[in-house]
Amino acid sequence: MTDWTIWVEWVVKGFILCMILLTGFAYLTLYERRALARIQVRVGPNRAGPQGLLQPIADAVKLIFKEELTPGKVYKVVFLLAPVLTVVPSLVLAAVIPLGDKFMLFGREITLYVADLNVGVLYLMSIASIAVYGIVLAGWSSNNKYAMLGGIRSSAQMISYELSLGLCFVIAIILGNSMNLNEIVDAQRDMWFAVIQPAGALVFMVVTLAEVNRAPFDMPEAEQELTAGYHAEYSGMKFALFFMAEYQKMIVICMIAATLFFGGYREFWFLKDTFFSVDSVWTIGSWQFKAWFLGPIYMLLKVIVLLFFMIWIRATWPRIRYDRLMAFGWKVLLPLCLVLAFITAVGILLFDLLGNPMLIWGVPVLSMLCILVVVAFIYRDLRRKSHGRV
Amino acid sequence: MAQLEEVTVDLYKHLVSERALTGETMLLNMGPQHPSTHGVLRLLLELDGEVVVNCIPDVGFLHTGIEKNMEAKTYQKAEVMTDRLDYMNTMGNNLAYVMAVEKLVDLDVPPRAQALRVILVELQRIASHLVWLGTSGLDLAAMSMFLYCFREREQILDIFELVSGQRMMTTYIRPGGVWRDVPVEFEKAVRDFIKIFPKRIDEYERLLTKNPLFIDRMVDIGYLSKETALSYGVTGPTLRASGVDWDLRKTRPYMGYEQYDFDVPVLTEGDTYARYLVRIEELRQTLRIVEQALNKLPMGPVRSDNRKYVPPPRSEIGLSMEALIHHFKLWTEGFLAPNASVYSAVESPRGELGVLLEGDGGPKPRRVHMRTPSFDNLAVLPELVKGHLVADLVAILASIDIVLGDIDR
């Protein structure tokens, strides 16, 4: 195999991945608006094209042609750099996520991920953290008090929630016995990690909401308090870049959630030896082929379902207050994640030592108990705080 | 491009603490264009981090000179201005003003008109509370609440359109009665609303009342003590959430409120959550009033037959010379009111809405003054927000339910 074809493969795959994320972002905005509208007894955008399918294009055209204002007293270099710093990590984040099984094309094996990193999970952690720079710098360079408050909020929020996020990653690493995302997906062939560690998956979803600044943790932009937070001074395409980053991060984080806890591109674990499996071989006439293309489809379905939960939460829940958000992160989620990681590790260790499969099932039971205890404590706290009015 | 002048702390140094002068605290200008100041209210905030040290409301951005304008109009025509006052409570404003006029010239109102006024004003109260519920939900980012509330408000506005031809600026309640009798569809429309609305209140409550995040945002925020509330002249649900049982419909009944059986919710906690609960309960009680008033809606005329003040019905004009003369005189010159001054007040959704009306013997008032509840309620805001976060400020501001048209007049 010649060396340059590898480069071609990387470039093509990277390009396709970027395209997927960009279109995904555009249609996620439409999806969100339509889903929100349905929840809120509205119709939503349905004028541009059938079912409003051309709405994202109309939005993009509008944003491109909008005047870009640069306020007088901003720190220009940083002001221009911040949107880029935000959007790039959200794009490169997806590089290690396997979107499907490998297959043969033109006599060479094509893998459906851009990079196969041994420490894929670490890569996710580190890149996800970089994105906060863009937000902080945008808030700071705007020379606007609202934007600055938004930037400060987001840095504090992201730093404290990244710890819990990391511990959720640890759970998946322990269960999958690897930091490589492909191996984590393969380890879920027999059982999704969301079944073994449902509490972990739940906490992961909560933490990711905070990580991508989604409601009810959308502190940095908190429209009602900080008008638009860190991007208050941005307009036109620069604003669109922030918007893009947020929605791409939503998609990617849902991909990560699917990969770590919901079997990645794999089918439901109980379908593993059936026709619907990614590993199955389909026969049409005399033509036999591996059903690798089911992988991306499953991934897409999982992402859509997970995204719906994010939208649903946004439609229903009030925003948490900033100080309570920090308290929730440090006093509730972090200890909870530690306990969950501990339970998982002990469960796996005991299973390895004693070989009793019942031990594995102790993990979900104990973890769910932990969650229930936490919820009970939160409710007790609320009841006490509300002087018995609830 | 003209260089903008830097606004310095010196301008405000008599209003803020000394720490602001050294730069230890930050001055933040919230409004007049801000999504959660409910209009064009400007709040100058002194922040320590995100904690509010000082809050200085700055009103007047919506000043339209309504009171002054009314002095240049006859008594009937001035009523149109009252709609623009508190645009969430147009029927109530009409009623307050019309009651003052009736008191000034000593007009009687037939019972059917009284009952219709009660129904419409109470429906308006529901509509206003719905806007409050929706926007205060929106201020906490519970965005669906807004649209659910507006769905029901739409039904009420449709009823208003049915009776008056207008959705918001109704001017339906007139001196001596109402504009004209309600159409036959009116009763069914109101009954439909009465039937559907209790379920909808439960729906709102399911979304908010016991929601942990909502409780977290509301409980123990913006405590208003009974004494502070009374000393600032706070009225309405905001006062009743602080433990003062004061509702003009009960304490000084007008328009026959004494014949209806309803409770006035009073809570003693005085925080944002209590104000929320009081208003939610008011939605239910208000619906009870509407139902009772509709059940015993008497038949009969809807306008006083005192032709000196109330224009004759259209049908009479073609038959009677006096009717034509009265009609002409009333719509050109207007009626003459005695040289006296009256005050009449109603319980608006926000509190005591009083009208001081001074006649000078001519067809136009010498002075009209509105005692608007939002203005007095807003005055207490700085007391409530001190020591809370900016996010709480938004919740507190929503909970005292101000309307800027009501404040600036």
Whether B3 has a pLDDT exceeding 70, the answer reads no
Range with the poorest average pLDDT among A66-80, A268-282, B337-351: A268-282
A278 or A299, greater pLDDT = A299
pLDDT one-digit tens code per residue, B354-386: 999 998 888 889 999 989 898 888 889 888 888
pLDDT one-digit tens code per residue, B218-257: 888 888 889 998 999 899 899 999 988 888 888 888 888 8
pLDDT one-digit tens code per residue, B22-50: 777 888 888 788 877 787 888 888 888 78
Residue B1 included in any domain: no
Residue B105 included in any domain: yes
Q: Round the average pLDDT of chain A to a whole number and report it.
A: 83
Q: What angle do CA B90, B93, B94 make, to 5 degrees?
A: 85
Residue B245 sits in a domain whose CATH number is: 1.10.645.10
Tokens of B287: 């619906």
| Mutation to test the B interface, candidates A317, A324, A326, A385, most B Cβ within 10 Å | A317
Whether A375 has a pLDDT exceeding 50, the answer reads yes
* Eight-class DSSP state of B264: -
Q: What is the pLDDT of residue B1?
A: 43
Residue B382 included in any domain: yes
A312 to chain B: closest CA residue: B144
pLDDT one-digit tens code per residue, A147-193: 888 888 888 888 888 888 888 888 888 888 888 888 888 888 888 88
Q: Is residue B124 within 8 Å of residue B89, measured between CB atoms?
A: yes
Would the CB atoms of B50 and A227 count as touching at under 8 Å?
A: no
Contacts of B89 (CB under 8 A, 6+ apart): B124, B125, B128, B348, B349, B350, B353, B403, B406
| Mutation to test the B interface, candidates A41, A154, A385, A386, most B Cβ within 10 Å | A386
Tokens of A276: 């619907």
pLDDT one-digit tens code per residue, B175-220: 888 888 889 899 899 999 999 999 999 988 888 888 888 888 888 8
Given B4, B144, B208, which is nearest A40 (Cβ)?
Answer: B144
Whether A1 has a pLDDT exceeding 60, the answer reads no
Given A227, A323, A386, which is nearest B273 (Cβ)?
Answer: A386
Alpha-helical (H) ranges within B209-266 are 212-218, 226-232, 237-240, 248-251
Would the CB atoms of A315 and B208 count as touching at under 8 Å?
A: no
Rounded distance between C-alpha atoms, residue B273 and residue B287, angstroms: 22
End-to-end CA distance of chain B: 35
Residue B180 included in any domain: yes
Would the CB atoms of B211 and A318 count as touching at under 8 Å?
A: yes
pLDDT one-digit tens code per residue, B316-361: 888 888 889 888 888 888 888 888 899 999 999 988 999 999 988 8
Would the CB atoms of B144 and A316 count as touching at under 8 Å?
A: yes
B267 to chain A: closest CA residue: A389
Indicate the number of domains in chain B.
Answer: 1
pTM: 0.87
Would the CB atoms of B151 and A41 count as touching at under 8 Å?
A: yes
Report residue B9's pLDDT band, with 50, 70 and 90 as the boundaries.
low
Domain containing B163 equals 66-304+336-408
DSSP run (H or E) holding B155: helix B143-164
Whether A390 has a pLDDT exceeding 70, the answer reads no
pLDDT one-digit tens code per residue, B103-150: 888 888 999 999 999 999 999 999 999 999 998 888 887 888 888 999
Rounded distance between C-alpha atoms, residue A111 and residue A23, angstroms: 21
Indicate the residue type of A124.
L
| CB-facing half-sphere around the CA of A172: CA atoms within 13 A | 33
Q: Calculate what percentage of chain A has a pLDDT beyond 70.
A: 96
Would the CB atoms of B217 and A318 count as touching at under 8 Å?
A: yes
Q: Look at residues B87, B286, B299, B93 and name the one whose alpha carbon lies nearest to residue B193.
A: B286
Rounded to the nearest angstrom, the gap between the alpha carbon of residue A93 and the centroid of all alpha carbons in its chain is 10
Domain containing A293 equals 3-386
Kindly state the average pLDDT of the residues A341-350: 86
From chain A, pick out residues whose CB is under 8 angstroms from the CB of B206: none
E strands, chain A, are: 103-105, 108-110, 281-284, 287-290
Kindly state the average pLDDT of the residues A116-134: 84
Indicate the number of domains in chain A.
Answer: 1
Residue B115 included in any domain: yes
Whether B5 has a pLDDT exceeding 70, the answer reads no
Across the A:B interface, residue pairs with CB atoms under 8 Å apart total 98
Residue B47 included in any domain: no
Q: What is the pLDDT of residue A153?
A: 82
Whether B154 has a pLDDT exceeding 50, the answer reads yes
